[in-house]
Structure 1
């Protein structure tokens, strides 16, 4: 299976001049209230046992409507329309939920969905074959190779670097090799813990492009090896 990295489009002709496209709320919507948007944050490894009230997300003033709308809320939140939802439902995704979302452009409401993923595939990384680097999350600066043989060793060395150099300094995956227990039929997932990217299969990428769905761009995942 060939994979690509998913990124939000920055093409102003497509998404407009504001990025991210959605990061504010309409008057009267309180994202901190129970069952509202920010209540989902505590469910990092599971899903809420309720349907969150998401009727109040505002499209930025100079942003354009796209099928997939970039947002400033969480890397695990994706604002999508009905066409994207229907397409994704035909493919194999990491654990996820779709929640109705009201997206407002000025005073006009558009019916969208929040795709919320709980995706953690660190246990399927072959650490002995993967190359790691010391990395600063805040600056994005890379400092050099770190040799790791196991997940336990990875977390031990990460703790040591954090104590010595601060919480933004960590160990990141550079060329990531997934082991033979990984589900190579997955069409959309995030590894997490050592990598912050979202990955999409070539077949799902092609389907998105063939259907003219806007909002995402794709680059080959040359950093990822699926055995």
Structure 2
């Protein structure tokens, strides 16, 4: 079964020469309010959906950026900024838990109300066959990669914490664990059309069917690459 990596396009002719396309919030946006997007993030980073709708009025699109179905948006909340066309397409496929929040986007002083922030909660690290997968430790920007053997998720948690302690307590150079090749076991839900494994792999993966639909509908602002690093039984 073939899967693909789905990601935002970066500074292309289609998106314009800047990345991300969305550069900042409007002047006067208050991060300290209880319904701000930052307040939303503080709860969402724990892996749950907050019980309020974040204020997404308004985000500023860079003047040199172009409007696309998917807008690049640098945020610590896992998800995508998509328009109604892409939202309607996504709703036809099987996703992990997710929610949509309407957002106001301003481009060259014109307000666009056609965008939604799609927040996705996706962690499938429980379904990784760790002994068959390949992992590395590396510094910033994957520098100086070194192989590391992981036998289980708990083994990953223990070794990742040890690396963190080495960095912050022992003052050793920063290193983290990343996956080079991932095997998912037979318990993984193969009905999913879109997912992120998470923790040691931040890629978003999608099915052949969703990839074909994206191309068929001419969705703009995204890159699609073969997921040669992913093996699913």
> TM-score by structure 1 length?
0.93
Match of 2:204 in 1: 198
1:24 aligns with 2:24: yes
Matching of residues 111-122 of structure 1 within 5 Å: 111=113, 112-122=115-125
Q: Which moved more, 1:170-179 or 1:81-90?
A: 170-179
Shift in Å at residue 10 of structure 1? 2.5
Match of 2:177 in 1: 171
8 Å CA contact 2:77–2:119 kept in 1: the answer is no
8 Å CA contact 1:23–1:73 kept in 2: the answer is no
Q: Distance in 2 between matches of 1:202 and 1:144?
A: 32
Matching of residues 1-227 of structure 1 within 5 Å: 1-42=1-42, 43-44=44-45, 45-74=47-76, 76-111=78-113, 112-136=115-139, 138-165=140-167, 166=172, 168-227=174-233
Cα RMSD after superposing both structures: 1.6
8 Å CA contact 2:10–2:18 kept in 1: the answer is no
Shift in Å at residue 78 of structure 1? 0.7
Residue segments in structure 2 that go unaligned for 5+ positions in a row: none
Shift in Å at residue 67 of structure 1? 0.5
Are residues 116 and 218 of structure 1, via their aligned partners in 2, closer, same or farther at CA, if it must alter by over 3 Å?
same
8 Å CA contact 1:31–1:37 kept in 2: the answer is yes
SS at match of 1:162: helix
Shift in Å at residue 30 of structure 1? 2.2
Question: How many residue pairs get matched?
Answer: 226
> TM-score by structure 2 length?
0.91
